[in-house]
Amino acid sequence: MNEIHYSTRRQKLLDTLEEGVVILSSSSPQTRSNDTEYSYRQNSDFYYMCGFEEPNSILILLKTPESTRSILFVEACSAEGALWNGACLGVEGARERFSMDEIHSTLEYSGLIKEILREHTALYIDFLDDSSSVKLAQQSVKELRETRGVKKSIRAIHDVTYLIRSMRLLKSNEEIERIKHAIAITASAHHQAMRECKSGMKEFELQAAMSYIFLSNGATSEAYGAIVAGGNNANTLHYIDNRDLLLDGDLVLIDAACEWELYASDITRTFPINGKFSDPQRDVYEKVLDVQLRVIDAIKPGVKRDWLQQYSEKLLCQALIDLGILKGEITPLLESKAHKKYAPHGIGHWMGLDVHDPCPYFDDEGESLALSAGMVTTIEPGIYIRADDESVEEKYRGIGIRIEDDILITDEGCENLSSMIVKTVEDIENLMMNKEGICVHLMKTY
């Protein structure tokens, strides 16, 4: 992404402030066990504002009535660090690449932060950030407040995350292209899993087939822990063991997707392990698919998210009545939340730099946000019927189905960014019966 996009975002954030200091810290490396670490992933808010991907870095934005200023602190290069972990960009490399007013080594931060803060009255931080850079800033605030002769001092500390995440709601064209690329790779992976699936496999074998597609096409990583849930495992919403056998006659629910240059995709498909839906499986599946299509069809600018949720619950409740799983009139069933036993989760969530983008769902007055062009949301209805639920006809027990796509709100309505991933009964069965044409190296044709 061009550096101008990041500088524009920084200026847009500063334009919302009367004056003050913004401090954003990079993510810290996280220990996996003993002296090994997880693969590094940058803090999304930090990355959104500057595009810098290395750890141990700090971004400071300053605003006075007369001017604005941006300062980036980065880790200095060292021969020992390069030997063990590879070369970092360093101060000089960062100065060449990034359009900042100042770039310093993080070693200089402790000596500069108090002088920066003494010229301002407001501090903007992430309240959940417990990094040493924020702690040092807070300590400096305390010391300045207790020092005689200081003409200015921080009088208010604000949470900056709401401001940044409100900006993150509307995706730029460049962000949308990254999301589309992630989805294109994910589409290939889901189709690969459908082609390879057969009874007697282990769930993790399908996960491995998808991971190969992700990595061989240059995806940064999985966007989240993959769910590959055969049979009744699909009725555990966050099932991640992925160790069981895939049995003939069961369905498998796969909720898995990749990340491309830090931007996520999030896709779920449910299909028969043997390539052919049974009649009860088809009945439930087509009800879920009908709900999803109708909800997507209702998406357009101005529609409120809480209305979309209520609409989806009404459709799911009616589907459960039609299947004979719920009995009675729809209004009292909705009021008693009887449908929640079988459709417990929301219809979707924001998606972008995080698979669950932590952008606001409500406006400043506490009202549900209305959809606007540039937002990206998932739409993922599901029906889950546990194998031990004797209140339901036996033919439906053990069936768990979710269908999830990634939707971009446009000026005219919406665009299903993942529409290339098969999801009708006919298309799934045809793809699973045709084992040819497996696409592995997607980037050659993307």
Among 313, 384, 406, 429, the one annotated catalytic: 384
Instruction: Tell me how far apart the alpha carbons of residues 437 and 344 are, in angstroms, rounded to a whole number.
Output: 38
The helix/strand/coil state of 107 is helix
**Residue for token digits 């980036």?**
72
Among 75, 203, 259, 404, the one annotated catalytic: 404
* For residue 406, pLDDT beyond 90: yes
Among 45, 203, 266, 406, the one annotated catalytic: 266
Instruction: Tell me how far apart the alpha carbons of residues 184 and 207 are, in angstroms, rounded to a whole number.
Output: 17
Q: Active site includes 181?
A: no
Q: Active site includes 269?
A: no
Return the pLDDT at 414: 98
Among 145, 294, 345, 441, the one annotated catalytic: 345
252: its two tokens: 């498998």
Alpha helices in 104-261 (DSSP H): 109-117, 132-145, 161-168, 173-196, 203-216
Selection from 431, 417, 425, 428 nearest residue 289 by Cα = 425
> Tens digits of per-residue pLDDT, 76-120?
988 888 888 888 999 999 999 999 999 999 999 999 999 999 989
The helix/strand/coil state of 401 is strand
Among 75, 126, 175, 380, the one annotated catalytic: 380
Q: How many residues does the chain have?
A: 446
Domain edges within the chain: 3-168, 173-444
Among 120, 190, 195, 349, the one annotated catalytic: 349
Q: Quote the percentage of the chain above a pLDDT of 70.
A: 97
**Residue for token digits 């300053």?**
62
Return the pLDDT at 437: 47
β-pairing, 405-409 with 414-416? antiparallel
Return the pLDDT at 371: 98
Q: Active site includes 255?
A: yes
Separation of first and last alpha carbons in the chain: 18
Lowest average pLDDT, out of 145-159, 193-207, 236-250, 397-411, goes to: 145-159
Q: Active site includes 402?
A: yes
The gap from C-alpha 402 to its chain's centroid, in whole angstroms, comes to 18
Q: Active site includes 191?
A: no
What CATH class is the domain 3-168?
Answer: alpha beta
- Which residue type sits at 159? D
435: its two tokens: 């084992």
Instruction: Tell me how far apart the alpha carbons of residues 230 and 208 are, in angstroms, rounded to a whole number.
Output: 15
Alpha helices in 298-383 (DSSP H): 305-323, 330-335
Q: Active site includes 266?
A: yes
Return the pLDDT at 436: 57
Return the pLDDT at 415: 98
- Which residue type sits at 429? E
> Tens digits of per-residue pLDDT, 256-310?
999 999 999 999 999 999 999 999 999 999 999 999 999 999 999 999 999 999 9
> Tens digits of per-residue pLDDT, 310-351?
999 999 999 999 999 999 999 999 999 999 999 999 999 999
Average pLDDT of every residue of the chain: 95
How far apart, in Å, are the Cα atoms of 404 and each of 181, 255, 267, 401?
A: 17, 8, 5, 10
What CATH class is the domain 173-444?
Answer: alpha beta
- Asked if the domains 3-168 and 173-444 are classified in one and the same CATH topology, the answer is no
Selection from 441, 395, 430, 164 nearest residue 280 by Cα = 395
Return the pLDDT at 207: 98
Selection from 266, 317, 267 nearest residue 287 by Cα = 317
- How many other CB atoms sit within 10 Å of the CB of residue 270? 26
* For residue 146, pLDDT beyond 90: no
Q: Active site includes 155?
A: no
Selection from 241, 228, 219 nearest residue 190 by Cα = 228
Are the CB atoms for 180 and 145 separated by under 8 Å?
Answer: no
Q: Active site includes 35?
A: yes
Instruction: Tell me how far apart the alpha carbons of residues 88 and 105 are, in angstroms, rounded to a whole number.
Output: 12
Mean pLDDT for 380-401 is 98
Q: Active site includes 45?
A: no
Among 15, 80, 148, 238, the one annotated catalytic: 238
